[in-house]
């Protein structure tokens, strides 16, 4: 009987408003929303209808019907802000399912940012803000950490451990894992020996990406076929199925049968395998010597993105690198000014999606980036972002020169 660990990511970025060079210096202009025709609101309503409401409702029914069924959620602060603003029923559904005690909530950076790579102080601040949000909304304090896009390295592990988390999640990358199994618990190559769960990419992506692909050799994916693949794993092995929540209804539309597939999979699998939560897995090893686990040594950051499973989705080209350099160079100045509205705007600009849209990879990776981007090209994404970045940089310098000035937005 294998252990199945299911985790879903709930995140929606706050996309940039139609901010142009003519808006530079306009104190009333907003970077990530507008009063009319807000892209963020349109997208959120659409995805809520296709994915969030039907899948959350299904999960609520499954939790009630099968007490042994458990799963985990990582919910960005930006997702909660937009849900509360435009679809509060989603927040209510989340509160209902989390209140069952069968759902573990993870911690992450509130703004779904790359702060763990660029600023340990900012990383800590965003994690703490996210912890407060989880407590305010759901009455829980997460003990498991899930970094943005499963970004991980030895250095990130030490930051996570220093914040008191019991374990973390990341990708199983062959160049560091070698031929070892991804279905076991590892610990970090750091003094903290932080426990690590590794995503089973093949089985996760069979659902998340390949489910409706008629050219895939495994199509059509039936519950019987998928369960046969799960049955290959023995007792105590950990099958970690990590995927975006939007897999259900948005990336894989309802007419593909994705909802029925998941419902039937839970019904059958819960009799043959054990659904588990990361906090339970980590607790099993809390009293064991760290040396009982093998080491996952990751000197250079990895992620779950693209074929390379590295950070090139966000930091590969000069557009991205220059934007990130300028953005994080403003940290000390912005925090010194102490204007909460300015800090919030700056943190909105840290959301990893902005840099993902600037990615100039092509082939299959490029197709995925283009699918998620609201811009016609990565060059347009950079142009729009650079205008906003120039404006916030100018505001910072203005406020430092004239501290008595106040921001309107």
DSSP-assigned letters across all residues of 175-205: HHHTTS-SSS-EEESSTT--EEEEE-HHHHH
Q: Using alpha carbons, select from 327, 328, 312, 331 the residue that is nearest to residue 378.
A: 312
Our measurement of the distance from residue 223's CA atom to the centroid of its chain's CA atoms, rounded to an integer in Å, reads: 27
Instruction: Please state, in angstroms and as integers, the Cα–Cα distance from residue 177 to each residue in 145, 182, 202, following that order.
Output: 20, 8, 15
Token pair of 363, please? 């082939």
Token pair of 310, please? 């590295």
Q: Please tell me whether the peptide bond between 220 and the residue prior to it is cis, using omega within 30 degrees of 0.
A: yes
> In 3-state terms, the chain is what percent helix, strand and coil (to 5)?
50, 10, 35
Count of CB atoms situated within 10 Å of the CB of 307 = 11
3 state DSSP class of 139: coil
3 state DSSP class of 10: strand
**Res 292: pLDDT:** 81
Alpha-carbon distance 270 to 137, whole Å?
A: 29
**Res 201: pLDDT:** 96
Kindly report the pTM of this predicted structure: 0.94
27 is catalytic: no
Q: Tokens 């340990």 appear where? A: 120
Catalytic residue among 104, 108, 122, 149: 149
Concatenated DSSP letters for 308-362? TTSSHHHHSSHHHHHHHHHHHHTHHHHHHH--HHHHHHHHHTTBHHHHHTT----
**Res 29: pLDDT:** 64
3 state DSSP class of 41: helix
| Residues 38, 46 contacting (CB under 8 angstroms) | no
Count of CB atoms situated within 10 Å of the CB of 315 = 19
Alpha-carbon distance 265 to 237, whole Å?
A: 19
Query: What are the extents of the domains in the chain?
Result: 3-296, 312-401
Question: Mind listing the pLDDT tens digit of every residue in the chain (409 residues)?
Answer: 799 999 999 999 999 988 777 567 566 567 886 555 578 999 999 999 999 999 999 999 999 999 999 999 999 999 999 999 999 999 999 999 999 999 999 999 999 999 999 999 999 999 999 999 999 999 999 999 999 999 999 999 999 999 999 999 999 999 999 999 999 999 999 999 999 999 999 999 999 999 999 999 999 999 999 999 999 999 889 999 999 999 999 999 999 999 999 999 999 999 989 999 999 999 988 777 666 899 999 999 999 998 899 999 999 999 999 999 999 999 999 999 999 999 999 999 999 999 999 999 865 555 565 667 888 999 999 999 999 999 999 989 888 877 655 544 4
**Res 409: pLDDT:** 42
CATH hierarchy code of domain 3-296? 3.20.110.20
**Res 284: pLDDT:** 86
């Amino acid at each position: 009987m294998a252990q199945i660990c299911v985790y879903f990511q709930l995140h929606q970025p706050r996309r940039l408003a139609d901010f142009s060079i003519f808006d530079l210096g306009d104190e009333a202009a907003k970077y990530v929303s507008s009063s009319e025709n807000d892209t963020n609101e349109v997208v959120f309503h659409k995805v809520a209808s296709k994915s969030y409401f039907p899948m959350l409702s299904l999960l609520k029914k499954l939790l009630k019907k099968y007490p042994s069924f458990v799963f985990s959620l990582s919910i960005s602060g930006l997702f909660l802000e937009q849900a509360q603003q435009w679809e509060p029923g989603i927040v209510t559904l989340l509160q209902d399912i989390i209140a069952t005690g069968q759902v573990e909530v993870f911690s992450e950076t509130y703004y779904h940012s790359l702060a763990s790579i660029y600023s340990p102080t900012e990383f800590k601040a965003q994690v703490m803000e996210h912890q407060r949000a989880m407590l305010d909304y759901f009455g829980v304090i997460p003990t498991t950490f899930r970094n943005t896009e499963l970004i991980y390295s030895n250095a990130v592990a030490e930051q996570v451990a220093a914040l008191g988390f019991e374990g973390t999640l990341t990708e199983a990358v062959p160049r560091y894992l070698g031929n070892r199994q991804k279905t076991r618990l590892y610990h970090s190559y750091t003094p903290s020996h932080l426990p690590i769960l590794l995503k089973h990419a093949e089985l996760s992506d069979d659902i998340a990406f390949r489910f409706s692909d008629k050219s895939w050799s495994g199509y059509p994916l039936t519950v019987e076929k998928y369960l046969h693949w799960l049955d290959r794993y023995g007792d105590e092995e950990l099958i970690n199925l990590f995927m975006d929540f939007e897999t259900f209804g948005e990336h894989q539309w309802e007419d593909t049968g994705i909802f029925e597939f998941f419902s039937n999979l839970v019904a059958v699998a819960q009799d043959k395998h054990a659904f588990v939560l990361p906090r339970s897995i980590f607790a099993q090893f809390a009293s064991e010597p760290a040396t009982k686990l093998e080491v996952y040594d990751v000197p250079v950051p990895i992620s779950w993105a693209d074929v390379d499973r590295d950070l090139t989705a966000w930091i590969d080209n000069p557009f991205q690198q220059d934007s990130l350099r300028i953005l994080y160079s403003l940290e000390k100045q912005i925090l010194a000014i102490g204007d909460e509205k300015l800090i919030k705007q700056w943190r909105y600009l840290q959301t990893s999606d902005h840099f993902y849209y600037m990615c100039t990879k092509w082939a299959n990776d490029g197709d995925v980036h283009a699918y998620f981007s609201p811009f016609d090209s990565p060059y347009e994404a950079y142009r729009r972002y650079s205008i906003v970045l120039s404006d916030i940089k100018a505001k910072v310098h203005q406020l430092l020169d004239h501290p008595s000035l106040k921001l309107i937005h």
